[in-house]
Amino acid sequence: MYQYQYPRPSVSVDTVLYGVEAGRISVLLIERANPPFAGCWALPGGFVDQDEDLPVAAARELEEETCLSGIVLHQFGAYGKMGRDPRGHTITVAYFACIHKSSVNPVAADDAKNLRWFALTDLPALAFDHSEIIHDACAKIRERIHLGAWERLLPMASISDVEAINLLQIPE
């Protein structure tokens, strides 16, 4: 295999997992067990393995850190600002999903020390640039709802669930 003589950035994936319940929406965060940002809250995610497709990597990382599988993920952005990861230049490809919270039982695993659902209005300080990613995911979901694509985001959603998603307060 050809090897470049110049340094290249690493590639990671991160997932914004929204949980809807009784017309309320929250986001699932993990508490990081390892540096950098050990003890800080973050989105589930991690590095893409060699020869691994991006959607496969996102699903794998979500399952490794939360024990959740079979969730339909939607790719919505990429983030590569220098300094976003203290380990080096890392580009992350971001995904989101909307689920009914009552349909899952996430469990912290792998390099997630803990996990918890947070209301978007009560997010803790986040690792990396995950605040920006959550902000952009909120905007993307609202855009898809306005285009009439909410049924693909959250099948079997009630009107109050759709209204909750549509009225997402985009965190700053």
In a domain, 5, yes or no: no
Residue 147 domain-assigned (yes or no): yes
125 belongs to a structural domain: yes
Q: What is the domain count for the chain? A: 1
pLDDT of res. 54: 98
Angle between helices 130-146 and 159-166 (to 10 degrees): 130
In a domain, 73, yes or no: yes
Would you give the distance in Å from CA 69 to the centre of its chain?
14
d(CA 27, CA 134): 9
Model confidence pLDDT, tens digit, residues 62-80: 999 999 999 999 999 999 9
- 105 lies in some domain: yes
pLDDT in tens, 126-154: 999 999 999 999 888 888 777 766 666 66
**Nearest of 8, 13, 170, 7 to residue 79 by alpha carbon:** 13
Examine residue 2 and state whether it is found in any structural domain, yes or no: no
Give the Cα separation of 63 and 11 in Å (integer).
18
Q: Give the C-alpha separation, 95 to 88, whole Å.
A: 22
CATH code, 107: 3.90.79.10
pTM for the whole structure: 0.90
Residue 4 lies inside a defined structural domain of this protein: no
**Domain range spanning residue 116?**
10-166
pLDDT at 142: 81
Is 172 within the bounds of a domain? Answer: no
